[in-house]
Amino acid sequence: MRVLVLVLTLLAAAKIGTQQYLIASAKTDIIVSAYRDRAVGACREAARSRQIAMPASWSAHGAVRLVIGKSNLDVALWQIDHRLWQTRYKSPYLIFTISEAPLRIFCEFDIAHGAASLITM
């Protein structure tokens, strides 16, 4: 009887875990598709202002991912009164990665502010 309860518990946990994963994946896809065009335009504008030559079809073959918060800011989780806390832990960003032969470009699009910044390596 205990084995049956354990198996049913594991099956229920697997079902709930799978549902949560699918919901999170769908939300990510929706956000990326909703803001992709704006992000591409902002990234191209940022590249033009820095005089960086971008490939014409870079948005089609570049990797895109959704990130919540900027991990490079020095704000601790308990510093909720800090002016950058919202940016560090709650603001959504789209990160584009473009790999061309001589250089690698990262474009970070801030969804909340509609601004893009470029990092070249």
pLDDT tens across 66-119, in order? 888 887 788 888 988 888 888 888 889 998 887 666 667 788 898 988 888 888
Q: Is 53 helix (H, G, I), strand (E, B) or coil?
A: coil
Tokens at residue 54, please? 């971008």
CB 67 within 8 A of CB 55: no
Q: For residues 16 and 34, give the distance between their C-alpha atoms in angstroms, rounded to a whole number.
A: 27
Tokens at residue 16, please? 């709930």
Does residue 14 form part of some domain? no
Query: Mean pLDDT of all residues in the chain?
Result: 85
Does residue 100 form part of some domain? yes
Model-level pTM? 0.74
Does residue 89 form part of some domain? yes
pLDDT at 107: 85
Does residue 96 form part of some domain? yes
Does residue 2 form part of some domain? no
Does residue 31 form part of some domain? no
Does residue 7 form part of some domain? no
Q: Provide the 10 A C-beta neighbour count for residue 32.
A: 14
Give the count of domains, the chain.
Answer: 1
Q: How confident is the model at residue 59 (pLDDT cuts 50, 70, 90)?
A: low
Counting every residue, how long is the chain?
Answer: 121
Q: How confident is the model at residue 19 (pLDDT cuts 50, 70, 90)?
A: very high
pLDDT exceeds 80 at position 54: no
Q: For residues 77 and 84, give the distance between their C-alpha atoms in angstroms, rounded to a whole number.
A: 11
Owning domain of residue 68: 36-120
pLDDT exceeds 70 at position 121: yes
Q: What is the mean pLDDT of residues 20-46?
A: 89
Q: What is the mean pLDDT of residues 11-32?
A: 94
